[in-house]
Amino acid sequence: MKICQIQMDMKLGDPVYNFARAELLIGKAACRQPDVICLPETWNVGFFPRKGLAELADRDGRAVRERIGGLARRFNVNLVAGSAAILRSDGGCVTNTALVFDRAGDCVAEYDKVHLFTNMEEEKYFTAGARLCVFELDGVRCGLITCYDLRFVEWVRKTALAGIDILFVGAQWPASRLSHWRVLNRARAIENQIFVAATNSCGVAGETRYGGHSLLIHPLGDVLAEAGDAEEILETEINLSELAGIRAEIPVFRDRREKLY
């Protein structure tokens, strides 16, 4: 499976620019004929405009579904659309929501970020989700989390226990904590024996510089590909047939003692 990760530099609070930029980059990535294209977290508005967030957010995800889902169909590619700030018309709340589209442009998964980063008061502007995200792309079972979720080992393990082979991570991870970004993504891959495709943003929003260095991690923890700190399309081919041997050699899921924890 070939995966293209779009490490995007978006403009804070400018969804018009960001949609156009995402569409352009998706088109460039599609020229490489990947199986999956990934975007980072809150690519439509950046992370995250406190003033006027509800007005900037995509109402019920309509624009993402129409424009990004339409590109999945046009290019015949699976598209893990990072996450977007979405205004829910049924309750008036804003969610940090990832949408996943298959090659036909159908939305096959939707995930509201579960763990909101209180140090940046994310919980005051977004409503948290409460459900796992597990889906299939081209017959491959996948899971999805968003940024801060990566620090919660129990949540990732619960996702892994659903039988996934690839975990997609969309993020706005700051440059100041890049060492954590690398270690946590590698750890989640090793302990759960899965491929991890972690797509970060780059550039500056407000006072925060985002770190880039999107990663594709092998289930043994090896870094198969790593982006730099600027806008980039990271392309990686993964061999899913390796998973069976890895899991047989170190059978951590068979040897778990669930009754103790």
Structure token pair of residue 69? 């889902």
Angle between helical axes of 153-160 and 178-192 (0-180°, round to 10): 40
The residue from 41, 110, 122, 232 that is catalytic is: 41
Integer Cα distance of 85 and 89 in angstroms = 13
**pTM for this predicted structure:** 0.98
Q: Which strand (E) or helix (H) includes residue 149?
A: none
Query: According to the model, what pLDDT value does residue 91 have?
Result: 83
> What torsion, rounded to 10 degrees, do the Cα atoms 170, 174, 180, 184 define?
0
- The CA distance from 54 to 255, in Å, is 47
Q: How far apart are CA 197 and CA 233, in angstroms?
A: 13
Widest Cα–Cα separation across the chain: 52
For 174, which DSSP code? B
28 catalytic? Reply is: no
Torsion of CA 22, 196, 85, 44, to 10 degrees: -10
Helix (H) and strand (E) counts for the chain? 8, 16
Burial (CB < 10 A; 0-12, 13-18, 19+), residue 211, is: buried
Q: Which pLDDT value is given to residue 3? A: 99
Catalytically annotated residue among 113, 142, 202, 232: 113
- Our answer to whether residue 41 is catalytic in this structure is yes
Q: How far is the C-alpha of 231 from the C-alpha of 236, rounded, in Å?
A: 16
pLDDT of residue 135: 98
Rounded CA separation 226/212 (Å): 9
* pLDDT by 10-residue block (mean), the chain, 261 residues: 98 98 98 98 97 97 98 98 96 96 98 97 98 98 98 98 98 98 98 99 96 98 98 98 98 96 90
User: Apex CA 64: angle with CA 102 and CA 13, to 5°?
Assistant: 145
Catalytic residue among 4, 38, 107, 147: 147
* Residue 22 to residues 16, 110, 132, 173, Cα–Cα distance (Å): 10, 19, 26, 18
Is-catalytic flag, 113?
yes
- 53 touches 88 (CB < 8 A): no
**Nearest residue to 85 (alpha-carbon basis) of 124, 41, 115:** 41
Q: Which residues contact 137 (CB under 8 A, 6 or more apart)?
A: 35, 36, 78, 100, 102, 108
d(Cα 201, Cα 70) in Å, to the nearest integer?
23
